[in-house]
C-alpha cells in the first residue's frame, strides 16, 4: 500500500534535491500572489519575483514528472497567461485541458461581475502517452436509453464543486482549502492505483487525504509547520466520504421507466459514480424516489409504480 509523506520545507529547495522522473502526477496549487495570509508566508511579491517563482517551481515539477506523467496547476487570472507560456514554451510540456472550476458561492462585487471560478491547467510530459482513466471520472447520463452505455459521459472541462464551507465537518483552518472531490477527479483520471503523486504546495493536505483513500502514494510539501501538523491530524481521522460532490453525480436519468431496469441501474449508479461518496447515496435515492415514486411488484410482474412525472414528455 503506497504511503503518504508530508514534508515541512520550501518547495523549490526541496524539489531541487530530489531525483528526476519520480512522480506519475503533480498537483500544484501554489500561492497566486494575491496577498493571502498563509501564516508563515505573505503571498505578495513584485511581479518579477513572482515570475521567478513560477519559473523555478515549474522547472523542478516538470523534471520530477515521469516521462508519461501529468501536471495539474491552479492559477489566478493575473499570471495565468504567463503560466501557460512557461509550461508550453519553457518547460516543453503539452497542453491537454484548461479546466474551469465553477463554484457557486463567494464574495459579491458591486461594480463588476463576482468571481465564481478558478482556472486549472492540465499539461502532459508526452503528447500522446499519458494516463487518462476516463471510466473512473465519468458523470451520469441525462436520459436512460436502452441502446446507450449508461456507464456515463465525459465530465467536460467545466467542473462544478462548491467550496468547503465553514459549517462542514471537514473544513480545516486554512484559507484556500480545496474540495476533495475536485482533487479526486484529477487523481482518478491521471494516475493508477499504487501510483506516486506530488503536491508541492500541499496546504491543509487535501491531495494527501484523497490519495490515501484511493490507494495512491502522495508526497506533500508545505512551508507552514502549522499546516503540516493539520495535515497529519487530517490523515489520522476516520474516512466518511469525500467532501463535496459534482451535482451531476446525484442526477437520476430521465426515462428510466422500467422498474426492473431502474432497480439494476440504481445499484450500478452507486457503484460507478458514488463510490467514495457514501453520504451522497441517500440524496440520490431520494431523488430517484421523487422522480419515479415508490414501487412494488404485483404477482403478474407488473409494477404498481406511479407514472413518472416525465414519462409523457419523453416516451413516444
Ligand atoms: C493555495 S494553498 C494550497 C491549498 C491546498 N491545495 C489545500 O487544499 O489545502 C498554497 C499553500 O502553499 C504554501 N506555500 C507557499 N509558498 C510555499 C513554498 N515556497 N513552498 C512550500 N509551500 C508554500 C502556503 O503556506 C499554502 O498553504
| pLDDT on residue 313 | 31
- Cell numbers for 35, please give them: 496577498
- Amino acid 174: pLDDT: 93
Nearest to 58 by CA among 197, 216, 201, 187: 201
Which of 63, 42, 52 is CA-nearest to residue 223?
A: 42
Model pLDDT, residue 265: 94
Complete DSSP assignment for 200-220: TT-TTTHHHHHHHHTT-EEEE
Rounded distance, CA 31 to CA 118, Å? 13
Cβ–ligand 1 distance for 10 under 6 Å, the answer yes
pLDDT at position 298 is 44
pLDDT at 44: 86
- Predicted confidence at residue 292, as pLDDT, reads 94
Ligand 1 centroid – CA 4 distance (Å): 17
Instruction: Tell me the C-alpha distance between 11 and 222, whole Å.
Output: 7
Say yes or no: CB of residue 29 within 6 Å of ligand 1: yes
d(CA 118, CA 148): 33
What is the distance between the alpha carbons of residues 189 and 156, in angstroms, rounded to a whole number?
12
| Domains recognised in the chain with CATH numbers | 4-236 (3.40.50.150), 252-314 (no CATH)
Task: Return d(Cα 164, Cα 168) in angstroms, integer.
Answer: 7
Q: Say how many Å lie between the CA of residue 39 and the centre of ligand 1.
A: 10
CB of residue 177 inside a 6 A radius of ligand 1: yes
pLDDT at 312: 34
Out of 33, 54, 202, mutate this one to test ligand 1's pocket (max ligand atoms within 8 Å of CB): namely 202
* Residue bearing cell 471537514: 170
Ligand 1 centre distance from Cα of residue 6 (Å)? 12
Indicate if ligand 1 lies below 6 Å from the C-beta of 174: yes
3-state DSSP call for residue 234? helix
The x, y and z cell numbers of residue 144, run together, are: 436512460
Cell numbers found for residue 142: 441525462
What's 36's DSSP letter?
-
pTM listed for this prediction: 0.92
Residue 315: predicted pLDDT: 27
Query: Count of CB atoms within 10 A of residue 281's CB?
Result: 17
- Rounded to the nearest 10 degrees, how much is the dihedral formed by the CA atoms of 103, 104, 108, 111? 80
For a mutational test of ligand 1's pocket, the pick from 36, 53, 178, 201, i.e. the residue with the most ligand atoms closer than 8 A to its C-beta, is 201
How is residue 108 written as a grid cell? 459579491
Can you tell me the distance from the alpha carbon of 243 to that of 164, in angstroms, rounded to the nearest whole number? Answer: 7
In whole angstroms, what is the distance from residue 44 CA to residue 220 CA?
22
On whether the CB atoms of residues 18 and 61 are closer than 8 A, the answer is no
DSSP class of residue 301 equals: S
Residue 104 DSSP one-character state: S
* Run means of pLDDT, 10 residues per run, the chain, 316 residues: 92 98 98 88 89 98 98 97 98 98 91 96 98 97 88 96 90 94 98 98 98 98 98 95 92 93 94 93 92 65 43 30
Which atom of ligand 1 approaches the CA of 27 most closely? Answer: 6
Contact yes or no for 72/120 (Cβ under 8 A): yes
178 lines ligand 1 (CB under 6 A): yes
Amino acid at each position: 500500500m503506497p504511503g503518504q509523506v508530508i514534508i515541512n520545507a520550501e518547495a523549490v529547495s526541496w524539489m531541487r534535491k530530489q531525483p528526476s522522473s519520480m512522480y506519475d502526477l503533480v498537483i500544484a496549487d501554489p500561492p497566486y500572489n494575491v496577498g493571502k495570509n498563509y501564516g508563515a508566508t505573505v503571498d505578495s511579491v513584485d511581479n518579477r519575483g513572482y515570475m521567478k517563482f513560477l519559473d523555478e517551481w515549474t522547472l523542478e515539477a516538470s523534471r520530477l514528472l515521469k516521462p508519461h506523467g501529468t501536471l495539474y496547476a491552479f492559477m489566478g487570472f493575473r499570471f495565468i497567461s504567463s503560466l501557460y507560456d512557461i509550461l508550453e514554451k519553457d518547460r516543453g510540456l503539452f497542453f491537454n485541458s484548461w479546466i474551469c472550476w465553477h463554484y457557486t458561492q463567494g464574495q459579491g462585487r458591486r461594480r463588476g461581475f463576482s468571481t465564481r471560478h478558478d482556472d486549472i491547467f492540465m499539461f502532459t510530459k508526452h503528447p500522446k502517452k499519458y494516463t487518462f482513466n476516463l471510466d473512473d471520472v465519468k458523470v451520469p447520463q441525462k436520459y436512460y436509453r436502452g441502446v446507450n452505455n449508461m456507464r456515463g459521459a465525459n465530465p467536460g472541462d467545466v467542473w462544478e464543486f462548491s467550496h468547503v464551507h465553514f459549517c462542514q465537518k471537514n473544513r480545516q483552518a486554512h484559507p484556500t482549502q480545496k474540495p476533495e472531490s475536485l482533487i479526486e477527479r484529477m487523481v482518478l483520471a491521471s494516475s493508477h492505483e499504487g501510483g506516486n503523486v506530488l503536491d508541492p504546495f500541499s496546504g491543509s493536505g487535501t491531495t494527501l487525504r484523497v490519495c490515501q483513500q484511493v490507494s495512491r502514494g502522495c508526497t506533500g510539501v508545505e512551508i507552514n509547520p502549522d499546516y503540516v501538523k493539520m495535515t497529519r491530524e487530517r490523515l489520522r481521522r476516520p474516512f466518511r466520504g469525500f467532501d463535496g460532490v459534482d451535482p451531476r453525480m446525484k442526477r437520476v436519468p430521465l426515462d428510466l421507466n422500467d422498474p426492473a431496469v431502474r432497480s439494476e441501474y440504481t445499484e450500478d449508479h452507486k457503484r460507478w459514480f458514488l463510490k467514495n461518496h457514501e453520504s451522497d447515496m441517500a440524496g440520490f435515492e431520494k431523488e430517484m424516489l421523487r422522480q419515479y415514486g415508490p414501487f412494488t411488484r404485483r404477482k403478474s410482474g407488473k409494477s404498481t409504480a406511479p407514472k413518472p412525472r416525465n414519462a409523457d414528455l419523453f416516451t413516444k
